[in-house]
Structure 1
Amino acid sequence: MKDKTSEYSNNFIYNIIKEDLKKNKFLSLRTRFPPEPNGYLHIGHAKSICLNFELANLYNGYCNLRFDDTNPRKENIKYINSIKNDIKWLGYKWNKKIFYSSEYFSKLYHYAQELIKKKLAYVDQLTKDQIREYRGTLINSGKNSPYRNRDIEENLELFKKMKQGYFNEGEMCLRAKIDMSSPYIIMRDPVLYRIMYIKHHQTKNQWCIYPMYDFAHCISDSIEGITHSFCTLEFQDNKCLYNWILKNTSVSHYPKQYEFSRLNLKHSILSKRKIKILIEKNIIDSWDDPRIQTISGLRRKGYTPSSIRNFCKKIGVTKQNNLIEFSMLEYCIRSELDTKSIRTMAVLDPIKLYLYNIDDNYKEIFTVPNHPKKPELGTHKVIFTNTIYIEREDFKEKYEKNYKRLKIGAEIRLRYAYIIKAEKIEKDIYGNITQIICSCDLTTLGKKPTNRKNPAVIHWISIQNSYASEFRLYEKLFNIDNPEQEKNFLSFVNPKSIIVKHGFIEKQMNEKIQKEIHDIKSQNKNLFFQFERVGYFCIDLVDSKKNKLIFNRTVSLRDTWNKKNKNN
């Protein structure tokens, strides 16, 4: 086994496994990733995926992918497919086949009967609201259900009739008989089974009673021989129930459960319930909207599998809840894209510029590098003519002392080309600038100006070399650090979380994309660009069409959000 342990030396779970292996040298590590198929995976799930699969790989064990599909009312086959796709995209392979808790429904029913026979479970007729009321609070103990002391035979018969469809939804449920005065509310006779008349995506209409997650989860772990069951800290109290069920049923294998802190990311919502609200309210478009941190959304925005894995490695695994800076996630993708992105020019908010001292038929072609430090990435051609587009923000009509770009009477250099000087402007009848008139110094190609200051550099595109495109600029979806904690989290949505621009890219880049777009879509890959002075972009593989390219900004060239908000 290749020694990678230095990467995990600060991982307390790694140290637990290390000690377990010392005690039992024949122990074969078996982990699992058990998503509920009721939504898309997010960056928090990515942390769990990396932990479970990486540790299994480290110790030559294996990791099961098991869908804990115990609530068909909230589950959907599209979620199952998206989860499988996300795990593959992140670069991991699960052990053999895909597992489902629904495969074990017959065994789970048997174990529930076993608890009834041991007087450790009973059929209850309290309503959902009554069960909540009887359960008590953190301060006050609960009280026993009036149905708690049914005899074994009656409970078995009622449970059988539940399975056969004799009762309506909510009319009966099966509860564990534990302790209504327990300091852990989850141990106050938790529900183990409920009635649901709905078709299941795996078992179809075979069942009308479904086990609760806590009951199915631990027994599924046992059936699959899982050695180490990892979950986040909010399930810490559930560990009592996890162990109680294993101890009081005749399972032959006892997994160990360990908890670690969940991933909390600034300016983000990771709750699947709240993401659904964002979709229902039309605040975001879908589960793969680039403004949310689902794995699908991050992929569409231009994040790579390695950048997400690297992020998860950097934040580590601890028992301390903390709020991770969004800039750390952006740092991981920015560092990667800096080394692999093709440099090219794009003008997102164009204004026309005319070089009056160059002939209308003049045309010059420059060969420019695709990356300044990576010659292996090749070169491309840039066409220079007397009519070009520049960014509207690169020109100021009114004098500003600290403005270093183009203004009347001032010089700037066009990237890869010449120094120009703004002479005058033309406006339409509404006072909008339609064209900037400039002169061009044709003696300054690749040279510093004689007896003049070296001017600032701006990017540009010749009108002859332009291809119309759409650009989507994304910012944080929420204006506050921790929207998850806010009851009215929708009131903190950033109204400028997406800004759409219509501008131009270089024609040669369009030709390159058109040749490859079919392959990158079918392979779920992407092409990455650094639009000089603007940011890192990728193609939106969902909305782009052959004759309509849409680019998503993955990340800015530097962390402008935190700087801007600190200044405010």
Structure 2
Amino acid sequence: MATDETSKPRDFIREIVANDIAAGTNDGRVQSRFPPEPNGYLHIGHAKSICLNFGIAKEFGGRCNLRFDDTNPTKEDVEYVESIQEDIRWLGFDWDELHFASDYFEQLYDWACELIRKGLAYVDSQSLDEIRAQRGTATEPGTASPYRDRSVEENLDLFAKMRSGEFEDGTHVLRAKIDMASPHLIMRDPLMYRIRHAHHHRTGDEWCIYPMYDYAHGQSDSIEQITHSLCSLEFETHRRLYDWFIEKLEIFPSKQYEFARLSLTYTIMSKRKLLELVQEGKVDGWDDPRMPTLRGLRRRGYTAEAIRNFCSEIGVTKYPGMTDMVVLENSLRNDLNKRAERRMAVLKPLKVVITNYPEGQVEELDAVNNPEDESAGTRKVPFSRELFIEQDDFMEDPPKKFFRLGPGREVRLRWAYFLKCEDVVKDDAGNIVELRCTYDPETKGGSAPDGRKVKGTIHWVSAAHAVEAEVRLYDHLLKIEDASDVPEAEDWKNYLNENSLEVLTGCRLEPSLAEAEPGNPVQFERLGYFTVDSKHSRPEKLVFNRSVTLRDTWAKVKKKG
């Protein structure tokens, strides 16, 4: 479950809740809810809201419901309903009650009829374009609909016929009757219902009119007696309407509070844009490791703990801002540094033959599993005459500060011996294909009895024992920090990072990794944190995803720029 946050300074939402409890508001009761639309997969922005809503309920001894806002049947699917529930549980939370806005369709309809009878709602027979044109501007009042003064009886009759399916989509809408001259545009007779002949994933074809979000949201909160309705900041202007409906219906007065949503550099949070990427095949589905979806992050190797810690670290404010992706990545690094066992893997192999090592001999060397966790113990790593090292760990003409292997140079092999390069073997094209080296048998474990020092330590795998794998190196989805900087007339997809995925084949891993499974992160020493790809990896073809590098490599790129 989520970590205990009571030792951290309270944010403004928690201050409100604490003050309400102290004042005995709602008898000191705390009831929150998380209300996702089942029209896509949850992303890291939703995780912030999940941690806030469920976290507050847990911290203050309250309750939290999961309620699906399923009022738009053309975009919703049971697939999303199931995935959202699974993602919430994976993140470490569970709900006290499960509800759907569709559970309340009959009550919402009855309340709409009540507003009509009170003269506070009417059926408008204009098109949406006409209604939009009459709305007015921030400096000019709106224009009243010619149908605004229909009688209560005519409105009730038309609304009943709308429900019974006698009209086509778009012929009528139900609007609240408030004030077309209001300085707040949202109060200028907003829409409450629209006709939509569409099959609903729960109610089937029972309904052909569906409530708008602004009408269904507050009343659903009231039905569930939500004490603290937490929304992202873009709904702040909607609060007047939220309160108006509750006041006019004289129902339980739920209160809405707004906080700044999460914006993250080098990615996007728009479900519409994420759907574009999926539909156009620019990513490998909603769970592509480059996507900010919880499915994508999970497949990439993010842990629930890392995401919860990230949400705790960024906090809750009323002021919009941009969070640097490195904050999320550092949260994962901090978590995996403590839990991930270390392994050796060579992603771009270069063959090494140790000419003075006996042919056919194999040693089992001890290697520490995790220096941050003594209880993780050690493992045996095979060592033999032929090894693989990283191509980048050798340079034929190394610069002054290159401390790895070069002709005549000596380095330390991790957990093994000192190794010295004696000769370089090239193919006909001049490419380096093999190194001939010698080892010092007196340096087993990585130290020399004569006290000589080497500056470089490199990793390796035994060629005869290595497991072959494909390794996928992921980077940021976008090559610009803020997607909102893209002009509206320009396609935002022009700023997708063309280097966001590099696929390496023929990688060589130490043999213990043959048994690795999805969900068990490992650190490839000196290379980063990796996990088995849950979608494409098979026993006959291992596929690993890089979760995050050991350091923030983008910081260096930005500094150079």
TM-score interval, normalised by the smaller of the two chains: over 0.9
SS in 1 for 2:537: coil
Q: Equivalent residue for 2:32?
A: 31
Tell me if structure 2 keeps the 8 A contact 1:10–1:316. Answer: no
For residues 48-90 of structure 1, the C-alpha deviation after alignment (integer angstroms, 9 at most, x for no partner) is 1111111111222100100010001111111111110011111
Q: CA deviation at 1:139?
A: 3.4
Report 1:502-517 matches (<5 A).
Answer: 502=505, 503-510=507-514, 512-513=515-516, 517=517
Q: Equivalent residue for 1:322?
A: 321
Q: Equivalent residue for 2:497?
A: 494
SS in 2 for 1:14: helix
Q: Return the alpha-carbon distance in structure 1 between the equivalents of residues 425 and 185 of structure 2.
A: 74
Moved more, 25-34 or 483-492: 483-492
Q: CA deviation at 1:4?
A: 6.5
Q: CA deviation at 1:466?
A: 0.4
Which amino acid in the other structure matches residue 220 of structure 1?
S
Which amino acid in the other structure matches residue 396 of structure 1?
M
Q: Equivalent residue for 1:523?
A: none
Tell me if structure 1 keeps the 8 A contact 2:22–2:28. Answer: no
| Cα distance change of structure 1 residues 168 and 204 upon mapping to structure 2, 3 Å threshold | same
Q: Equivalent residue for 2:132?
A: 132
SS in 2 for 1:435: strand
Q: Equivalent residue for 1:72?
A: 73
Q: Equivalent residue for 2:104?
A: 104
Q: Equivalent residue for 2:18?
A: 18
Tell me if structure 1 keeps the 8 A contact 2:218–2:246. Answer: yes
SS in 1 for 2:464: helix
Which amino acid in the other structure matches residue 490 of structure 1?
K
SS in 1 for 2:352: strand
Q: Return the alpha-carbon distance in structure 2 between the equivalents of residues 95 and 384 of structure 1.
A: 55
| Cα distance change of structure 1 residues 342 and 261 upon mapping to structure 2, 3 Å threshold | same
Tell me if structure 2 keeps the 8 A contact 1:448–1:454. Answer: no
Q: CA deviation at 1:6?
A: 4.2
Q: CA deviation at 1:530?
A: 0.8
Tell me if structure 1 keeps the 8 A contact 2:260–2:319. Answer: yes
Q: Equivalent residue for 2:534?
A: 541
How many aligned residue pairs are there? 553
Q: Return the alpha-carbon distance in structure 2 between the equivalents of residues 278 and 566 of structure 1.
A: 30
Q: Equivalent residue for 2:479?
A: 479
Which amino acid in the other structure matches residue 82 of structure 1?
S
Q: CA deviation at 1:250?
A: 4.0
For residues 78-133 of structure 1, the C-alpha deviation after alignment (integer angstroms, 9 at most, x for no partner) is 1111110011111111013x100001101111111111111211111222222221
Q: Equivalent residue for 2:339?
A: 340
Report 1:268-279 matches (<5 A).
Answer: 268-279=267-278
Q: Return the alpha-carbon distance in structure 2 between the equivalents of residues 155 and 485 of structure 1.
A: 46
Q: Equivalent residue for 2:228?
A: 228
Which amino acid in the other structure matches residue 318 of structure 1?
T
Report 1:199-218 matches (<5 A).
Answer: 199-218=199-218
Q: Equivalent residue for 1:282?
A: 281
Q: Return the alpha-carbon distance in structure 1 between the equivalents of residues 398 and 370 of structure 2.
A: 35
For residues 507-553 of structure 1, the C-alpha deviation after alignment (integer angstroms, 9 at most, x for no partner) is 1221x32xxx4xx6xxxxx1111110000111111211122221111
Which amino acid in the other structure matches residue 77 of structure 1?
V
Q: Equivalent residue for 2:525?
A: 532
Q: Return the alpha-carbon distance in structure 2 between the equivalents of residues 480 and 181 of structure 1.
A: 42
Tell me if structure 1 keeps the 8 A contact 2:442–2:448. Answer: no
Q: Equivalent residue for 2:52?
A: 51
| Cα distance change of structure 1 residues 78 and 533 upon mapping to structure 2, 3 Å threshold | same
TM-score by length of 1: 0.94
Tell me if structure 2 keeps the 8 A contact 1:268–1:484. Answer: no
Q: Equivalent residue for 2:357?
A: 358
Tell me if structure 2 keeps the 8 A contact 1:267–1:326. Answer: yes
SS in 2 for 1:465: coil
Q: Equivalent residue for 1:82?
A: 83
Report 1:179-218 matches (<5 A).
Answer: 179-218=179-218
Q: Return the alpha-carbon distance in structure 1 between the equivalents of residues 62 and 23 of structure 2.
A: 17
For residues 18-77 of structure 1, the C-alpha deviation after alignment (integer angstroms, 9 at most, x for no partner) is 221222162211111111111111111111111111111122210010001000111111
Which amino acid in the other structure matches residue 197 of structure 2?
Y
Q: CA deviation at 1:9?
A: 3.2
Q: Return the alpha-carbon distance in structure 2 between the equivalents of residues 249 and 156 of structure 1.
A: 17
Q: Equivalent residue for 2:397?
A: 398
Q: Equivalent residue for 1:294?
A: 293
Moved more, 180-189 or 157-166: 180-189
Q: Return the alpha-carbon distance in structure 1 between the equivalents of residues 133 and 481 of structure 2.
A: 35
SS in 2 for 1:141: coil
TM-score by length of 2: 0.95
Q: CA deviation at 1:193?
A: 0.6
Q: CA deviation at 1:138?
A: 2.6
SS in 2 for 1:276: helix
Q: Return the alpha-carbon distance in structure 2 between the equivalents of residues 8 and 33 of structure 1.
A: 23
Tell me if structure 2 keeps the 8 A contact 1:279–1:286. Answer: yes
Tell me if structure 2 keeps the 8 A contact 1:534–1:556. Answer: yes
Tell me if structure 1 keeps the 8 A contact 2:6–2:59. Answer: no
Q: Return the alpha-carbon distance in structure 2 between the equivalents of residues 540 and 400 of structure 1.
A: 37
Q: CA deviation at 1:255?
A: 0.4
Point out where structure 2 has 5 or more consecutive residues left out of the alignment.
none
Which amino acid in the other structure matches residue 330 of structure 2?
Y
Tell me if structure 2 keeps the 8 A contact 1:9–1:15. Answer: no
| Cα distance change of structure 1 residues 320 and 268 upon mapping to structure 2, 3 Å threshold | same
Q: Return the alpha-carbon distance in structure 1 between the equivalents of residues 138 and 500 of structure 2.
A: 40
Tell me if structure 2 keeps the 8 A contact 1:31–1:229. Answer: yes
| Cα distance change of structure 1 residues 560 and 5 upon mapping to structure 2, 3 Å threshold | closer
Which amino acid in the other structure matches residue 55 of structure 2?
E
SS in 1 for 2:257: strand
Q: CA deviation at 1:485?
A: 4.2
Q: Percent same amino acid among aligned pairs?
A: 46
| Cα distance change of structure 1 residues 49 and 226 upon mapping to structure 2, 3 Å threshold | same
Q: Return the alpha-carbon distance in structure 2 between the equivalents of residues 451 and 36 of structure 1.
A: 66
Moved more, 445-454 or 355-364: 445-454
Point out where structure 1 has 5 or more consecutive residues left out of the alignment.
521-525
Tell me if structure 2 keeps the 8 A contact 1:8–1:14. Answer: no
| Cα distance change of structure 1 residues 485 and 180 upon mapping to structure 2, 3 Å threshold | farther
SS in 2 for 1:135: coil
Q: CA deviation at 1:382?
A: 1.0
Q: Equivalent residue for 1:174?
A: 174
Tell me if structure 1 keeps the 8 A contact 2:410–2:454. Answer: no
Q: Return the alpha-carbon distance in structure 2 between the equivalents of residues 301 and 438 of structure 1.
A: 37
Q: Return the alpha-carbon distance in structure 2 between the equivalents of residues 243 and 465 of structure 1.
A: 69
Moved more, 361-370 or 105-114: 361-370
Which amino acid in the other structure matches residue 554 of structure 1?
S
Moved more, 32-41 or 425-434: 425-434
